[in-house]
Chain A
Amino acid sequence: MNLKAKRKKGNVEEGSSLHMVEHKSVGDHVADIVIYVVVALVAFACVIPMWHVLMTSLSDGKMAMAYEGLFWKWVGEFNLGGYRLIFQDASIISGYANTIFYTVSATGLGFVIAALTGYALSRNTKLKSPITLLLMSTMLFSGGMVPTYIVIRYLGWVGTRWALIVPGCTNAMFMIMMMNSFNSVPHEMYEAARIDGAGHFRTMWQVMLPQAMNLGFVIILNSVVMHWNAWLQASIYVPNNKKLWPLQLWIKQIVADNQNFLQNANPDYNRYLIQYAVIVAATLPILALFPFFQDKLEKGVIAGGVKG
Chain B
Amino acid sequence: MKWKKVLSLCLAAVTVVSAALLTGCGGGGASSDTSFTMWIYLGENAQYYTDYADNPVLQWMTAQKWGEEEKQVEFEFWIPAAGTALDSYSTMIGSGSYPDVLDCTVANPIALYEEGTIIDLTEYIEQYMPNYTAFLDAHPELKPYATYEVDGEQKNLTVIGLKDDYESIYCGYCYRRDWIVKYGTNPETGEKFTGGYTDESDPDSWEDDVVFPSGGTDPVYISDWEWMFEIFEKAYTDLGIDDAYCISVYYTGFTWPGDLCSSFGGGNFNFYEDSEGKVQLGCDKDHARAYLKCLNTWYEKGWLDESFNERTSDMHYAIDDTAVRQGKVGMWMGLKSTLGGRLDGGDEYTDGIFVSGCALPINDVYGDESCQNVEPDCVMTKSELKGQGYAVTSAAKDKDIATLLTFIDYLYSDEGAVLATFGLSPEQMEEIGTSFYEDNGIPNGTYEVNEEGKNEMVETIRQDSGGLKNAAVLSRFPCLKKVSILDEGYADSYQHSLDLWIQYKGGADVWATPAVSNLPEKDSKVVDDVMTKCQDYVTINAVTFIKGEKDIDSDEDWGTWCKMLEKYNYKKALDVLQPYVDKYGLHANEK
A residues within 8 Å of B by Cβ? 1, 4, 62, 65-66, 68, 88-89, 91, 101, 104-105, 107-109, 111-112, 145-146, 149-150, 153, 156-162, 165, 209-210, 213, 216, 231-232, 234-236, 239-242, 244-245, 249, 252-257, 259-267, 296
Asked whether B374 is an interface residue with its Cβ less than 8 Å from the other chain, the reply is: no
Task: Give the interface size bracket for B toward A.
Answer: 35 or more
Q: Mark B23-54, 1 if CB is under 8 A from A, else 0.
A: 11111100000000000000001110011000
Give, as a whole number of angstroms, the nearest-CB distance from A56 to chain B. Answer: 14
Q: Which residue from chain A places its CB closest to the CB of B93 in the assembled complex?
A: A146
Q: Is the CB of A240 within 8 A of B26?
A: no
Task: Please measure, in the bound complex, the distance between the C-alpha atom of A109 and the C-alpha atom of B84, giving whole angstroms.
Answer: 28
6 nearest interchain CB pairs? A160-B24, A108-B10, A256-B82, A264-B465, A146-B94, A263-B465
Q: If the complex has contacts A66-B345, A263-B335, A265-B462, are A160 and B97 also in contact, measured as CB distance less than 8 A?
A: no
Q: If the complex has contacts A146-B90, A263-B336, are A253 and B466 also in contact, measured as CB distance less than 8 A?
A: no
* A contact residues around B466 at 8 Å (CB): 260, 263
Q: Is the CB of B91 within 8 A of A257?
A: no
Asked whether B130 is an interface residue with its Cβ less than 8 Å from the other chain, the reply is: no
* B contact residues around A236 at 8 Å (CB): 84, 87-88, 91
Task: Please measure, in the bound complex, the distance between the C-alpha atom of A282 and the C-alpha atom of B445, giving whole angstroms.
Answer: 37
Q: Is the CB of A257 within 8 A of B325?
A: no
Q: Tell me which of A62, A149, A253 contacts B82 (CB under 8 A).
A: A253
Q: Mark B456-491, 1 if CB is under 8 A from A, else 0.
A: 000000111111000000000000000000000000
* B contact residues around A253 at 8 Å (CB): 46, 81-82
Task: Please measure, in the bound complex, the distance between the C-alpha atom of A108 and the C-alpha atom of B81, giving whole angstroms.
Answer: 27
Q: Mark B114-141, 1 if CB is under 8 A from A, else 0.
A: 0000000000000000000000000000
* A contact residues around B7 at 8 Å (CB): 108, 111-112
* A contact residues around B51 at 8 Å (CB): 242
* B contact residues around A105 at 8 Å (CB): 10, 13-14, 17-18
Q: Tell me which of B18, B27, B83, B463 contacts A165 (CB under 8 A).
A: B18
13 additional A-B pairs beyond A68-B322, A161-B21, A240-B25, beta carbons within 8 Å, are: A153-B95, A159-B25, A160-B22, A160-B24, A165-B14, A239-B88, A240-B77, A242-B50, A254-B46, A257-B47, A260-B466, A262-B315, A265-B463
Give, as a whole number of angstroms, the nearest-CB distance from B18 to chain A. Answer: 7
Task: Please measure, in the bound complex, the distance between the C-alpha atom of A146 and the C-alpha atom of B94, giving whole angstroms.
Answer: 6
Task: Please measure, in the bound complex, the distance between the C-alpha atom of A161 and the C-alpha atom of B26, giving whole angstroms.
Answer: 10
Q: Is the CB of B337 within 8 A of A263?
A: yes
Q: Is the CB of B10 within 8 A of A260?
A: no
Q: Is the CB of B82 within 8 A of A264?
A: no
Q: If the complex has contacts A65-B322, A263-B335, are A159 and B24 also in contact, measured as CB distance less than 8 A?
A: yes
Q: Is the CB of B88 within 8 A of A235?
A: yes
Q: Is the CB of B28 within 8 A of A159?
A: yes
Which residues in chain B, 332-356, are within 8 Å of chain A measured between CB atoms? 335-337, 342, 345, 347
Give, as a whole number of angstroms, the nearest-CB distance from B551 to chain A. Answer: 35
* B contact residues around A267 at 8 Å (CB): 337, 465
26 CB contacts below 8 A, A to B, read: A66-B322, A89-B47, A104-B10, A105-B13, A105-B18, A108-B10, A150-B94, A156-B26, A158-B24, A158-B26, A158-B97, A159-B25, A159-B26, A160-B21, A160-B22, A231-B81, A235-B80, A236-B91, A239-B84, A244-B24, A257-B45, A257-B47, A257-B82, A262-B316, A265-B463, A266-B463
Asked whether B241 is an interface residue with its Cβ less than 8 Å from the other chain, the reply is: no
Q: Which residue from chain B places its CB closest to the CB of A266 in the assembled complex?
A: B463
Give, as a whole number of angstroms, the nearest-CB distance from B242 to chain A. Answer: 15
Task: Please measure, in the bound complex, the distance between the C-alpha atom of A156 and the C-alpha atom of B1, giving whole angstroms.
Answer: 38
* A contact residues around B45 at 8 Å (CB): 257
Task: Please measure, in the bound complex, the distance between the C-alpha atom of A62 and the C-alpha atom of B51, giving whole angstroms.
Answer: 32
Task: Please measure, in the bound complex, the distance between the C-alpha atom of A256 and the C-alpha atom of B83, giving whole angstroms.
Answer: 8
Asked whether B564 is an interface residue with its Cβ less than 8 Å from the other chain, the reply is: no
Q: Tell me which of A150, A231, A260, A296 contacts B95 (CB under 8 A).
A: A150
Give, as a whole number of angstroms, the nearest-CB distance from B248 to chain A. Answer: 15
Q: Is the CB of A101 within 8 A of B335?
A: no
Give, as a whole number of angstroms, the nearest-CB distance from A273 to chain B. Answer: 14
* A contact residues around B186 at 8 Å (CB): none
Q: Is the CB of A235 within 8 A of B18?
A: no
* B contact residues around A65 at 8 Å (CB): 322, 325
Task: Please measure, in the bound complex, the distance between the C-alpha atom of A266 and the C-alpha atom of B14, giving whole angstroms.
Answer: 49
Q: Is the CB of B14 within 8 A of A239?
A: no
Asked whether B170 is an interface residue with its Cβ less than 8 Å from the other chain, the reply is: yes
* B contact residues around A249 at 8 Å (CB): 81
* B contact residues around A234 at 8 Å (CB): 81
Give, as a whole number of angstroms, the nearest-CB distance from A285 to chain B. Answer: 18
Task: Please measure, in the bound complex, the distance between the C-alpha atom of A62 and the C-alpha atom of B343, giving whole angstroms.
Answer: 11
Give, as a whole number of angstroms, the nearest-CB distance from A118 to chain B. Answer: 14
Q: If the complex has contacts A89-B46, A239-B79, A262-B335, are A162 and B316 also in contact, measured as CB distance less than 8 A?
A: no
Task: Please measure, in the bound complex, the distance between the C-alpha atom of A145 and the C-alpha atom of B93, giving whole angstroms.
Answer: 12
* A contact residues around B47 at 8 Å (CB): 88-89, 257
* B contact residues around A242 at 8 Å (CB): 50-51
Q: Is the CB of A107 within 8 A of B10?
A: yes
Q: Which residue from chain A places its CB closest to the CB of B342 in the assembled complex?
A: A265
Q: Tell me which of B22, B80, B463 contacts A239 (CB under 8 A).
A: B80
Q: Which residue from chain A places its CB closest to the CB of B463 in the assembled complex?
A: A265
Task: Please measure, in the bound complex, the distance between the C-alpha atom of A213 and the C-alpha atom of B4, giving whole angstroms.
Answer: 10
Q: Is the CB of B24 within 8 A of A260?
A: no
Q: Is the CB of A260 within 8 A of B81?
A: no
Q: Is the CB of B27 within 8 A of A158?
A: yes
Task: Please measure, in the bound complex, the distance between the C-alpha atom of A81 and the C-alpha atom of B8, giving whole angstroms.
Answer: 42
Asked whether B326 is an interface residue with its Cβ less than 8 Å from the other chain, the reply is: yes
Asked whether B561 is an interface residue with its Cβ less than 8 Å from the other chain, the reply is: no
Give, as a whole number of angstroms, the nearest-CB distance from B198 to chain A. Answer: 19
* A contact residues around B81 at 8 Å (CB): 231, 234-235, 239, 245, 249, 252-253
Q: Is the CB of B25 within 8 A of A241?
A: yes
Asked whether B166 is an interface residue with its Cβ less than 8 Å from the other chain, the reply is: no
